[in-house]
Amino acid sequence: MKGGRGKRGRAAAATREATLTIERLGTGGDGIAHLEGRPVFVPFTLPGETWRVVLQEGGAWRGRPLERLGEPVARAEPSCPHFTRCGGCLLQHLPDPLYDEFKRQRVIEPLRQARIDHSVPALLARSPQASRRRVRLAYARRGGRLLLGYRALRSHDIVPIATCPISLPVIQDLLPPLTGLLTSLGGEIREGEVVVTATHTGLDVRLGGVEARSLEQRERLAAFADTWDLARLTVASERGAAEAIVTRRPPVLRFGTTLVTLPLASFLQATEAGEAALQAAVADWLPDRTRVVDLYAGLGTLTLPIATRCERLDLVEGDADASAACARAIAAYPRLQARCRDLEADPLEAAELAPFDAAVLDPPRSGAARQVERLAKASLDRIVYVSCHPGSFARDAQHLQAAGFELVALRPVDQFLFAPEVELAALFLRGQAKAKLNA
């Protein structure tokens, strides 16, 4: 009986309706209204709009929008037929002025909370439509049909897609054939993840949840790679073991004049436009003949384009495959060195940073708290910090500020079109570097 009452109670809560007026946008892009003193988060809405919603209770109240009421508020026309069903692009309905200000506020608010006084300029390098060079898709068999697409918002459900307007056309063209390929591999292929990356030598495709045990499966995969002129096609089992079934050309990325072969799984900036904006900030803020340490260097994305200007360049990265790929690419250059080191567990100490004039760092979303503590104690006086999370950036910036660094330049970069995320590049100076700036 208790179980029955609980089920009825949950069902009633799930179907409760309310009429709400959206007051503002939250950091995740949801509209925020209030009901009974509690915030309610309603996706795909705008400030000033009134909506009839279904309330969904959990850790926070969320509203599933049913009907827009009252006078309309100016909206942008979504460019994607999957908008509101796919959980990827949450901001397609925002008109440009509101969109730009929303992204600026994503940077302004964490800085304000950290008591860091610096103006935030307009967004740079908004990545255009049809520019995303890597997509990560989910697939699963449901009712005898294989579905390939993105996850729905806050759900494990898959929204099948035949197009993705933010992605490069060469990636969009591959989506329907990929569904056919996975279907043809047989019923043992149940679910997994597909990653498609556009490189300078062609598409690099990784099929998760696929082992390709039979000769027939391997032949199908090889034929698919030939038909669609893939650079490489890799399968990865549920246990994580990856195997390149076909490498027709090494999948290569170009950073300045340096060519780096993409490892089977490695971080990559989402668009070339966003990458170029971040590289430009690094190039503008590092003087010639500087001794540079690049922390969380990845494949060398940010500093290899200026390697010839550096007196010394050390690239430190925790991912072994990425570090090895970078090392192979720079093997002929004695002033460049790539090292593999987990900077979360084992950050470079102040003494190890002593040979360098400047540091570049591009940490994960969690930031670089332990490494920043060591940078604060080091002798170098110039730091270029690239961040994909304004909150962790503000925390680290606060620590640098306490150590005498001043935030002297900041560039927000809109690499993830229609997503709430915003990236930034920032320049910190102290000591002689700061004195030269003010001279």
What 3-state class would DSSP assign to 392? helix
Q: Specify the pLDDT at position 184.
A: 93
pLDDT at 410: 97
Instruction: Give the pLDDT confidence score for residue 186 in this predicted structure.
Output: 84
- The dihedral over CA atoms of 340, 345, 351, 353, expressed in degrees to the nearest 10, equals 50
Q: Is 388 a known active-site residue?
A: yes
Residue numbers of the chain with a pLDDT score lower than 50: 1-13
Tell me which residue has tokens 């390149």. Answer: 244
Rounded CA gap, 53 and 16, in Å?
Answer: 8
* Positions at the binding site for S-adenosyl-L-methionine: 269, 296, 317, 362
| Alpha carbon distance 176, 161 (integer Å) | 8
- From 89, 164, 310, 388, active-site residue: 388
Residue labelled with tokens 């540091």: 359
Report how far residue 260's alpha carbon sits from residue 108's, in angstroms, rounded to the nearest whole number.
36
Helices 369-377 & 390-402 angle (0-180, nearest 10)? 20
CA–CA–CA angle 429, 434, 436 (5° rounding)? 140
Q: What domains does the chain contain, in order, with CATH numbers?
A: 14-73 (2.40.50.140), 108-127+268-438 (3.40.50.150), 134-250 (2.40.50.1070)
Residue whose C-alpha is closest to residue 84's, from 1, 155, 2, 171: 155
What are the C-alpha distances in Å from 371 to residues 131, 290, 346, 359? 33, 21, 8, 11
- Binding-site residues sit at 269, 296, 317, 362
Q: List the beta strands (DSSP E) in 30-113.
A: 31-35, 38-42, 50-56, 61-69
- Please name every residue paired with 158 in a beta bridge, in sequence order, or none if there are none: 151
Per-residue pLDDT tens for 164-218?
999 999 999 999 999 999 999 987 888 999 999 999 999 999 999 998 889 999 9
In whole angstroms, give the CA distance from residue 243 to residue 415: 31
CA angle 85, 87, 91 (to 5 degrees): 95
| Euclidean distance between CA atoms 412 and 422, whole angstroms | 7
Q: From CA 261, how far away is CA 433, in angstroms rounded?
A: 36
- Name the residue among 154, 9, 177 with its Cα closest to residue 84: 154
Contact call for residues 350 and 371 (beta carbons, < 8 A): no
The pLDDT of residue 223 is 98
Q: Contact 391/369 with Cβ under 8 angstroms?
A: no
Spatial distance between the Cα atoms of 8 and 23, rounded to a whole number of angstroms: 32
